[in-house]
Structure formats: structure tokens, C-alpha cells
Structure 1
Amino acid sequence: MSRSLSQTLSRVYFALQSLTGLLWWILVFAVPSVREATLGTLDAGAVAAADLPLFVGAAAVAACGVRSAAVVNALWTVVVAIALAVYATVGGEAGWGVILMGAATIGSLLALSLLLLGRIPTEWIAWGPLAFRPADESRETAVHLAVTAGQIALFWGLFLGVLPWGISVLEQRWGVAVPVPPGVPVAGAVLFFAASVLGLWSAAVMASLGRGTPLPSVMPNHLVIAGPYRWVRNPMALSGVMQAGAVGLMLGSWLVVVYAVGGSVLWNLAIRPLEERDLEARFGDEFRGYRDAVRCWVPRPPRSIDRF
């Protein structure tokens, strides 16, 4: 994406944010249910006195390409989102305001990045313990399997246990939960089991044949195209997204499902390009042939050749 296009998209976003923000304030003062759902018992007039110039006004000025206004808008949006989250968690009201401002915060920060840098700096993800480095190939296969098992326990416990549970609790506390049909949790459990089998199978194949682990800092030393990797290029990512969505169904939490979708978008747009760039640099034509033959997300029957 060119810098000019990035900045144009940023300015369009800020223009839309200004218009939707103004519309929201009109509804706040005109419709009591909207005011209650998004602000609770907060003084709407006092909040508007600060928010109209710093959110609506600054976004309008940022839409004209003024960078300082974009910075003000983004910082204010972050502050309001955090303040509303604390208020909603303590008081149990204004939950929909948290959702709206949370979404606005993500949008403002992304638009600010496009305006200032002309791009989204995704490379910051791959640094320190997450930098792409191959594993020590001299280790026994049992060691790679043990390290992989530890990674699975840690990441599944955090991203499929602690975080979804916390999101579900906040969803209830903020009053934004919606009822789900009785069969949804059961369907979620079935999906979670199937996705977990896929994830464990993929991890075992990567550790035993690739002589490494799924973690970027301990990556496999060999390109793995066996097992589920013959059907889809990223079976562990696919498994993780399905697991997170399944947890959302089991908890009856639409916010956890959104969390799963957001994770898939983040992985696909930010992490996958970095990972594939590293794989191409290390394996060259072998990886390029594999990439051309096997889809990223949608499985299809493997071809009848051993190497691509």
C-alpha cells in the first residue's frame, strides 16, 4: 500500500469517526435508552463538553490531514475507553459505551499509524522472545515434543482459558451479554474437541519432523508438509481460531467469539506475512512451491506428490 493511499484511508476513517461520533451524541441527548446504555448515570452534558471537541472535533480536523489533531483524538479515545471500562466494571453500567469506545480506540490508533507512518508497523511483533529463530537441531525429538507440550499448556491456558473467562465475566458485568440457544454450548464443546485434535496433531508433526516448535523463537529447522500441513498451510492457527470461537460458544459469549475473530485477523494480517517471509528466506523455492500448492486457511485434499 502506498503512503498516499494509507494517508487517504486514515483521513476517510477520521471523517467517518467524526460523523458517527456526532450522530451518537445526538442520540444520547434525544434517546434516553441510548444515553443509559452508553453512559449510564454519568452527566452527559459534562462528558459532551470534553468529548465533542476532543473526539468529534479533533477527528474532523484530522480528516483534513492535521497530524496533531489525530494524535489528540487517539489519546483522548484511549483515555475515555479506559475510563469507561473502569466505570462499567465498578458500577455495572455503560457497558455498550465501553464496546463502542474500545472499537473507536482500535480504529483511531490504526488510522493514526497510517497517517504518521503510512503503514501499520507489524514488525514490532517479532522481537525479543518472539523473534524468528530456528530451534537447536541437535536436541532429541523428545525434547522438541516436550517443549511443544509446555508451549501448548501455557498458551492454551492463557488464550483459551484465562482471557476468555475474563472477557465473559466483563461481558456479564457490563450488561452486554445476549442469550444463546441451549444447544450452542454443546456445539461449542464438539467444535473445541475437533479443533484441539487438529492442534495437537499439527504440533506433534511439527516437533517430530520439523525438529522445532510452533513458537517463532524456537521454529522448526525443516519445512513440514506432512500430516495436516498437506491439507492446509497453517493448521495450528486454524485450530487456535476454531478453539477460541468454540470457547465463546461454550461460554455463550459473543465477545469471546469477537475475540477469536479478532485474533484470526491479527494473525492473518500481521503475523502470517512475517512468518512466511522468514520461511521463504530459509527454504526458498521449496517454500514457494508449497505456498502455491497449499491454501492458507481453507483445507483441500493433498496432491499426490511428496515435495512441492
Structure 2
Amino acid sequence: MKETAYLLQAALISAWWVGLASNEAFFAAFQFDEIPSTAFWAFFAPDVILIAALSTARAYKQNSAIELVILGAFAYASLYCVNATVLTASGYLPTGLMLVGLTYNAFLCFSDLAFRASSTSMAWNAIKTLIQTVCIWTMALVIVPYVILDAFGSFILPTPGIWLLVGGLLFGGFSLLGLTSAYFMVRDGAGTPLPLDQTNNLVVSGPYHYVRNPMAISGIGQGLAVAIIFQSVPLLIYVGLGVLVWQLVVRPIEERDMTRRFGESYLEYCRHVSCWIPTFGRRAG
């Protein structure tokens, strides 16, 4: 599971540097005002050696020390970027990307600690779920898209038309799916959708009766809707990367934890209900 995650990381970092070297607009989107580009290229060798190369090595050899070195490299790069953003009031995209990388690697290093059961209080779980939803939607569907659009100089308020209509309808539909899924998580799961504060019971009702990951589908659909509204290729790539990371990294780790906690009940559920494609007319268990 981790092997795939580190191999994906190595591939994405390599592709990122290729993009920086081959496309001026892509390179410009990741720069800080008043900091010369030579300072940016100074990170090339450390990035390739300490992150890309070591990620490849970790993909083929299990070693916790390598994981911690990679995490430390991301921590240093993240601190540099945060400081550069504070000093120049720019570079929000590279800083955000480094912080995402830092979080990603912290999750890989300490994934066993990332899943814990929630309180069984329905009222308290409902409040926490509402707070989680507001925070995650604001970050993933407002702040990150704005930073991406602004970095590529393509932030223009959408005008009335077919794209706004289609995107708006999709966003509304997928948002309703997400809220409905969260409701069943709280009601029948005695927990919240967040892995750090997860359910106590296996949820097979509501949308979960037809598909195993309705909340992931909801988030992907919402992101796709935002990309359609702004007619943005960078946002479409952002959504595609989210799908890739969820499918190859988050899902296997989450499913391993679900199997550990719910055993045969979860395995039986998986045999009857698809991960991504709704299976109508079948019993979820």
C-alpha cells in the first residue's frame, strides 16, 4: 500500500519538475515575487535526491528511516515556502503544495494513528460533522481553486451560460449526496466522516447501500463542477490528482483499517457493493 503511495509521489515530483522546465506559464505559477528564479532552481537537486529518489527507494524497500528523511525534507521545504510567502505576500500555490506534501507524508508515516473511533453522542457527532464539512468544503472547493486560478492568472468570475448552469447543477447534486452520506454516517455509524474521528459502526444504509465511497464521489463531483464553472484545465488536473491519490493511497489504507475493525461484515459488504459504481438491486449486507 505504502509502496504505491511513494512510487506515485516520486512520479508526480518528477513530472512537476519536467513541467517547470518545459512550460513558462507553469513555472511562473510557482514563483515568489522578489525572489529570483535561481533560488527556486536551487531546490532541484535536494528535491530530486531527498524526495523523488528516496521515495522510489522506499517504494521497493520498507524502511521507516527513509520515510522520516522524506518527511523531514518536506518539512524543511514547507518552512522555507511559508517564510517566503510571509515575506513576499506571494507564492501561495507552491506553499500550499508543499504543505499538502508534508501532510501526505505525515499520513504515510503515521497512518496507523490516523484512524480512531469517535464519541457515540449523536448530537456531538452532528456538530463536529457540520464543522468538518464547512472547513473541508471551504478549503477544497473555495480556497484551493482560488489559489490555483490566481496563480495561473485565470481567475475570472463566471458569467451566466451553459457552463455555469451545468456546473451549478452538478455541484448541487453532488453536495446533496455528500450531506446525505454524512447524515447516515452520524445516524447509523455513531461517528463522523473524518478518519481521525471515524464511525463506531459499519454504515451500509442510505447511499452506502449502493456504493462504498459516496462521500469521495461527492467530493470529486464537486471539484469537477467547480472546474466546469470556471472552465479551467488546472482545476481539472487538481481534481484528477485528487482521484489518483484517493484511489491509490487513501482507499487501500482506509479499507485495511475497516477490515481490521469490522472483519467479515466489511468483507461481505465489499463483495456486494462496488467501490465507485453504484450497484442497484443488490443487498449491502
Q: What TM-score comes out, normalization by structure 2 length? A: 0.65
Work out whether 1:293 is the aligned partner of 2:268: no
Aligned letter for 1:246?
A: A
Consecutive unaligned residues of structure 2, counting only runs of 5 or more, are: 58-65
Aligned equivalent of 1:131, options 115, 131, 144: 115
Give the corresponding residue for 2:108. Answer: 122
Aligned equivalent of 1:161, options 138, 144, 154: 138
Give the corresponding residue for 1:273. Answer: 252
The alignment covers a number of residue pairs equal to 272
**What is the Cα deviation at residue 295 of structure 1?**
0.8
Are the aligned partners of 1:55 and 1:76 in contact in 2 as well (CA < 8 Å)?
no
Are the aligned partners of 1:195 and 1:242 in contact in 2 as well (CA < 8 Å)?
yes
Give the corresponding residue for 2:218. Answer: 239
Aligned to 1:207, the other structure's residue is in SS state: helix
> How large is the Cα RMSD of the aligned pairs?
4.9
Provide the C-alpha distance between the structure 1 equivalents of 2:125 and 2:56, rounded to a whole number of angstroms: 50
**What is the Cα deviation at residue 255 of structure 1?**
5.0
Are the aligned partners of 1:147 and 1:213 in contact in 2 as well (CA < 8 Å)?
no
Are the aligned partners of 2:118 and 2:199 in contact in 1 as well (CA < 8 Å)?
yes
**What is the Cα deviation at residue 159 of structure 1?**
1.8
Are the aligned partners of 2:141 and 2:222 in contact in 1 as well (CA < 8 Å)?
no
Give the corresponding residue for 2:171. Answer: 192
Change (3 A) 1:291 1:178: same
Provide the C-alpha distance between the structure 2 equivalents of 1:86 and 1:176, rounded to a whole number of angstroms: 21
**What is the Cα deviation at residue 219 of structure 1?**
0.9
Aligned letter for 2:117?
A: R
Change (3 A) 1:176 1:209: same
Change (3 A) 1:188 1:155: farther
Aligned to 2:116, the other structure's residue is in SS state: coil
Give the corresponding residue for 1:204. Answer: 183
**What is the Cα deviation at residue 287 of structure 1?**
1.6
Are the aligned partners of 2:149 and 2:234 in contact in 1 as well (CA < 8 Å)?
no
Q: What TM-score comes out, normalization by structure 1 length? A: 0.61
Aligned letter for 1:167?
A: V
Provide the C-alpha distance between the structure 1 equivalents of 2:18 and 2:230, rounded to a whole number of angstroms: 32
Consecutive unaligned residues of structure 1, counting only runs of 5 or more, are: 114-119, 137-142
Change (3 A) 1:80 1:255: farther
Work out whether 1:219 is the aligned partner of 2:238: no
**What is the Cα deviation at residue 17 of structure 1?**
6.8
Provide the C-alpha distance between the structure 2 equivalents of 1:218 and 1:62, rounded to a whole number of angstroms: 32
Are the aligned partners of 1:125 and 1:271 in contact in 2 as well (CA < 8 Å)?
no
Alignment of 1:68-83 (within 5 A): 78=78, 82=82
Aligned to 1:176, the other structure's residue is in SS state: coil
Aligned to 2:110, the other structure's residue is in SS state: helix
Aligned letter for 2:211?
A: V
Give the corresponding residue for 1:117. Answer: none
Give the corresponding residue for 1:284. Answer: 263
Alignment of 1:57-76 (within 5 A): none
Deviations 1:193-224 (A, max 9, x none): 11122223323333333444434435142x33
Aligned to 1:291, the other structure's residue is in SS state: helix
Are the aligned partners of 2:141 and 2:226 in contact in 1 as well (CA < 8 Å)?
yes
Aligned letter for 2:115?
A: A
